[in-house]
Amino acid sequence: MISNLELVIRLLLSTLVGVSIGFERERNNRPAGLRTHTLVSLGATLITLISIYGFDEGDPTRLAAQIVSGIGFIGAGTILRTGNHIRGLTTAASLWVSAGIGIAIGTGSYLPAIITAVIVLITLVSLSNLEDKVALKSYNKIVIEAIDRPGLLGDIGNLFGSFYITIKDISIYENEENNEEKENYLISIYLSIKIPNNLNTSKIIQEIYQIENITNVIYEDENINRFEI
């Protein structure tokens, strides 16, 4: 048996690791965040401790193996599919590795557990930014200038969806000429989009102009050529 102090240290360290990973997921509004990762890591550590020190006989690795397989059910619940887009795979993976870290801490393998936790945090924070930059390079930019009205963004989204155009990012800015005395409130909508190869760009832009209150469309293709129609 190990001392009570050692038990407490392992449980607290596991909680700290779960909080660290969960905080990053929570900050990015992911399905499983702070509490989920903390409980997964802590629970994995507790079960591992019980499997090693709670029974006089039996194979402790069997219970740890059940943790690894069981965490798959929680991870599957964080994966969402919308059309051709799948979200939540990274969160499911972070839950799985959190369970692995919890098992490592439960067995007293502090060094590999801490190193893994650091690598996980670096992967989630740093590689996420790099991943976004790489992904955005394959997307084209389009700026839509319009008079704001209810349902404008919905109409644009429906049009893009009908042509199977993927929207990666969207930002909306107010026109500097706007003031309270003017009835027409001008906005500029910046979008990063991916257009299917067999789709005529000019046709898309012409269709955008058919939407009510659209005043100007500026498109930037992958060769950084800007043009208006």
Residue 196 has pLDDT above 80, yes or no: yes
- Distance from the Cα of residue 89 to its chain's centroid: 8
- Going by their DSSP bridges, the two strands 226-228 and 214-220 should be labelled as antiparallel
What dihedral angle (degrees, nearest 10) is formed by the CA atoms of 114, 120, 123, 125? -90
Residue 176 has pLDDT above 70, yes or no: no
Q: Among the listed ranges 47-61, 73-87, 93-107, 204-218, which one has the minimum average pLDDT value? A: 73-87
Higher pLDDT, 202 or 67: 202
Question: pLDDT at position 183, please?
Answer: 63
The owner of tokens 């990666």 is: 168
Residue 194 has pLDDT above 70, yes or no: yes
105-162 residue pLDDT tens: 888 888 888 888 888 888 777 766 665 565 556 678 899 999 988 899 899 999 998 9
Q: Among the listed ranges 85-89, 187-191, 218-222, which one has the minimum average pLDDT value? A: 85-89
Residue 226 has pLDDT above 50, yes or no: no
Report the alpha-carbon distance of residue 73 to residue 223 in Å, rounded: 44
What amino acid occupies position 75? G
89-115 residue pLDDT tens: 777 788 888 888 888 888 888 888 888
Report the alpha-carbon distance of residue 205 to residue 201 in Å, rounded: 6
Residue 82 has pLDDT above 60, yes or no: no
Question: pLDDT at position 178, please?
Answer: 60
Alpha helices by DSSP H, the chain: 4-27, 34-53, 60-77, 89-106, 110-136, 152-162, 201-209
Report the alpha-carbon distance of residue 54 to residue 228 in Å, rounded: 72
Residue 56 has pLDDT above 70, yes or no: no
Report the alpha-carbon distance of residue 16 to residue 37 in Å, rounded: 10
Question: pLDDT at position 227, please?
Answer: 46
Summarize the confidence of residues 78-89 as an average pLDDT: 58
- Give the relative orientation of helices 60-77 and 34-53 as an angle to the nearest 10 degrees: 170
Residues of each domain in the chain carrying CATH 3.30.70.260: 140-228
Question: pLDDT at position 212, please?
Answer: 92
Report the alpha-carbon distance of residue 97 to residue 21 in Å, rounded: 10
| Residue 195 pLDDT level (bands cut at 50, 70, 90) | confident
- Burial class of residue 44 in the structure, from the number of CB atoms within 10 Å of its CB (0-12 exposed, 13-18 middle, 19+ buried): buried
Domain 140-228 indexed as CATH 3.30.70.260: yes
